[in-house]
Amino acid sequence: MKHTRIVAPFLLATLIACAAPTPTPAPSTPLPPAPTFATSPTPQPTPTPTYAPPTATPAPPTPTTAPTATQTLAPTPTPTPLAALDGVFFSEINTASGKAFSFLRFFADGNVVLNNVRAADAPSAWNSVRPLTPDTPNLGTGKYTFRGKEIAFTLSNRGDPVLEYAGTIEGNRLILTEKWVPTGVTTQNVTFTRADFAR
């Protein structure tokens, strides 16, 4: 009795695979070289500029002011009688009726007197009015004050102010402004000269 050999399908496939000749591999074709790409240069870092503040122009040196010397003011002299005016001064006046002369006599104690007289000349006029003292009646009398070169006085008659004088002493002359008190009339630059003849 003939036996038929039964081969399992999975074993048959294995046998077939084993019996089949191994194919000769085809020679490998070399691969083309990989394309070369240009390499970008590595960017260098941009240097950060260092900020330098502008140099300030130095200010010119402040000039040194020399200390101002303190001026010492001389004290204002107190109005006091001036012994240098212990003398007689006169002024010539031309009137419609002829010459007249005004005499001012200053005393060291601060008194001053005035008298007017008509005469041909100053010495003759003085001889008619001398000695001109404060107790002589009907004279203009007052007190004078003196500051530096400035002099001022008011003359009264019987207690009423009559004449006001103010001005300066310039050597042997008095340059005065004369004000007639009752009317307010003022005369500028009335000059009295020292009467050297009055003794």
In the chain, how many domains are there?
1
- Would 182 be classed as within a structural domain? yes
Cα separation, 163 vs 186, in Å, equals: 10
Please provide residue 92's backbone torsions phi and psi, each rounded to the nearest 5 degrees: -90, 135
Establish if 23 belongs to a structural domain. no
The per-residue pLDDT for range 113-127, each reduced to its tens digit, is: 999 999 999 999 999
pLDDT score recorded for residue 103:
96
pLDDT at 11 over 80: no
**In the structure encoding, which two tokens stand for residue 57, read together?**
């122009």
Query: Measured at the alpha carbon of residue 121, what is the angle toward residues 117 and 124, in degrees to the nearest 5?
Result: 70
- Mean pLDDT over 163-191 rounds to 94
112 in any annotated domain: yes
Mapping DSSP onto H, E and C, the string for 39-81 reads: CCCCCCCCCCCCCCCCCCCCCCCCCCCCCCCCCCCCCCCCCEC
Q: Are the C-beta atoms of 116 and 128 separated by less than 8 Å?
A: no
pTM: 0.57
Name the average pLDDT for the chain.
75
17-60 confidence digits (pLDDT tens): 444 455 555 555 555 555 544 444 555 656 555 555 555 566 66
Residue 170 lies in a domain: yes
For residue 165, the domain's CATH number is 2.40.128
- pLDDT tens by residue, 92-105: 998 888 899 999 99
- Domain residues for the domain of 108 are 83-194
